[in-house]
Each structure stands twice: as structure tokens, then as C-alpha cells.
Amino acid sequence: MLCAAFAVPLALAKTDAPMTAAQSDPRTLGWMTGSPPPDDKAIRFTDGDYFTFPKSRWTVCHFRELMPTVGVSRGPGGAVPLARKIDAGIDAVTFTPIGSDVKMSWRQAFDANYTDGVIVLHKGRVVYERYAGCLDANGQHGAMSVTKSLTGLLGEMLVAEGVIDENARVDTIVPELRQSAFGDATVRQVMDMTTGLQFSEDYSDPNAEVWRHADAGSPLPKPRGYTGPRTYWEYLQTVRKQGEHGSAFAYKTVNTDALGWIIARKTGKPVAQLLSERIWQHMGAEQDAYYTVDSLGTPFAGGGFNAGLRDMARIGELMLEGGTINGKRLVPKQAIDHIRAGGDKAKFAKAGYDLLKGWSYSGMWWVSHNAHGAFMARGVHGQAIYVDPAAQMVIARFSSHPSASNSANDPTSLPAYQAVADYLMTHP
């Protein structure tokens, strides 16, 4: 579930971790320290290894210093502070990682997952907050595929408001996609990623389509002789069909790019502007956010969002409270209800996520269908917004795990979230 946002080399797909969280801390390694930093400590977008571990542990907090971006304004109003009631007992909460018989504490999991920041809200109050690595309370971090869930939320809002017909064919909204695989798909199939697309996100395969997508979206000048697509939207027009739409869930980043185009076409506003106007300016955000963009300034709807950790927790609180925050309704309840209800579990099962058995996918959110009704936004290298309605809990986390795949941290993340939820339900 990697976002091909930045045209990084295949080395990104490495799963080995030769250094611990402490050893790979960017402050310890001194990346980009000095005026100017020495050559062996410099990180540039034009370097092929700028997002390979351990450099990636610095890069995740500094995308706007490396590449063009577009802002998501919080507007001129003041932030609405989050109430605080820190619970020192959370660090000692224990759980058993999936596939292990050795217990781990919440505090131990922080470093095990190369966490850069994690915050826990319970009944709207901050009960836990901790930072490390490149991040602090004033910093911003790449959300990776958590971005998809924000795009999906905008899409669900517009469906609930009647601006977008979820049953409409994509080519009736974006005629430029008529000859692509998306042309005869419905908006709902795009939003739930049940489209049949010839698109591989196998990062170990240099011929996988994900790398062509990355090439198209990169704002860097194209090499001499390059004749391929030069923007995300140009790339979408080249995607070919494989299989039947609506038959199975298949996680493919280009679906979210397509939804971003649908949203922009129906509203006349790119996702960055719409997110600002509909949510970011009204939820009491502490910081502006931003998206990385392609060479035409198109926000990367599938993985380019960056924000502060507390503001990501506010998104979780908005979802937990059914579309309201600080006493204001920002999202139609119908949109939140649709996401929380989940998608087709049988179609999801065909994707073969061994660690997510019984889950589904709806509106670009991952739905657990567990006893607590938990659902979440997920991004590579450990990004997450986890919402547990039964426990009235939200967890937002930024990480820079050396392995992109969530399968590397799910065993020490999913049971940890559940353990904290269970703890908070008995410690009101």
C-alpha cells in the first residue's frame, strides 16, 4: 500500500532494518545539519536515495523543502485547543503482537514501529502525546495513503449532498477518461476500489505500472526523449482495464487520483482548496497543511498530504463524532455512516490481506467490523488514524518505519490500538 508520489528508487521497497529507531534517529545522524550541511549529510530531491532508509526518517517531515507543494489553509481564525487529561498509565498497557507469544508494552511499541509521533484522544481529550525523530508538536509529517481517506471523505460528502451521483459512469463526469479503464466504472466502484485495472503496485518489479505513475507525477524535468504522460491526470488516461469492475477489492492508488479529478470537475476546485474550505478552516486546526503536486500543480490526491499530528487527531475526532467537531457539523452524517458501515467483506477478502481478515473498504477508509466498530485511515511506513467508537477513542500516528508495507507494523499496531481502547474503557 505504497504511494508512488515521489518517483523514488526501488530501494524504497527494502524491508530490512539494519538500524534501530534510536540508531536511525535523524537528529543522531545529523541529516541536513549545518549552514550548509556537509555533503555526506545533505538530502536533495534530485538524489536517488532521498527517501530510502535511514534518510527517509528526516524526509517524512520535510517534503515541502524538497519539492513543490500547495497549501491547505486553516484560515484566519484561532485554533480550538484540545482539552488535555494525560494518563500516565497508557505507556504500561501491554498486548501480544500478532504472531508472537511475547507481550509488548505501548511504550515499547513506540520504538518498535519507528514512531515519529502518536496522540491518543479519549472522549475528546488528549490522554497521550509523544514525539521523536524528525517531529515535534509544531512540525508536519507526510500522511502517505492516509491522504486517500481524506479524498474519500470529500467524495462521500459530495455524494451525500447530491453533488456527485455515486452510480454515474466516470466518463460522464470526466470525458477525458472515456478510453481508459475508468470510463465505464461507476464513481462508487472508484471510491471503494472495486475497479478492474491493469495496474501493479509491486515495488520490487521495475516494470510495474506504479513506477510509470510516479514518473508522470514527478515535478522534475523529464529526461531527454521522454514521451510518456507528464501529470497524474495524463497518466490516468493511459490506464487499461483488467477484469470486471465491481467484482473484487483491489488497492490501487490511481483510483484516488481519479476520484480527485472527479471532485475537481464537479466542484471546480482541487482537493487542496476543497479540503481547506470545507474542513480545515472550520475544525479548529492548529496549522496549515499541504499537498505535494505534479508539474501542473495538481495535488497528489492519493498520497501527497502533510499535516501536524494534532490536526490529524482532529480529523479522527470529526469521524468519531459523526461529522461534527467543536459543536459544528462539517460533514453530513450520512457520509460518515456510509464509511463506518463498511464495504463488501467478500470482495475485500479476495485481496488476500492475511492480517485484515473480516475487514472491508468503504469510501477509501478501512473498516475492521470488530466488536468496537473500529475503522481507520492507513498509510505506508506506519501512518494511521484509528477510530474506535465503542471506546470513544482516536489514535493518530506518524511513523517512518523502514518497511513500506503495513504488514511490517500491523502485528505491533493493531493489537496495541485494541489494548489501549480496552484500557480506556475501564479508566474513564
Among all residues, which ones are annotated catalytic? 145
Using the 8-state DSSP alphabet, how is residue 239 labeled? P
Task: In whole angstroms, give the CA distance from residue 182 to residue 204.
Answer: 26
| Nine cell digits for residue 239 | 490506464
Query: 380: Cβ–Cβ under 8 A, 6 or more apart, which residues?
Result: 1, 2, 3, 144, 145, 404, 405, 406
Distance between CA atoms of residues 310 and 138, nearest Å: 9
For 144, residues 6+ apart whose C-beta sits below 8 A from its C-beta are 2, 3, 5, 303, 379, 380, 381, 383
Spatial CA neighbour of 266 closest among 157, 119, 391? 157
User: Which residues touch 408 (CB under 8 Å, ≥6 apart)?
Assistant: 15, 401
Q: Which helix (H) or strand (E) holds 342?
A: none
Amino acid at 396: A
- Nearest of 249, 247, 202 to residue 353 by alpha carbon: 249
* b/e sequence 386-399, b meaning 16+ C-beta within 10 Å: bbbbebbbbbbbbb
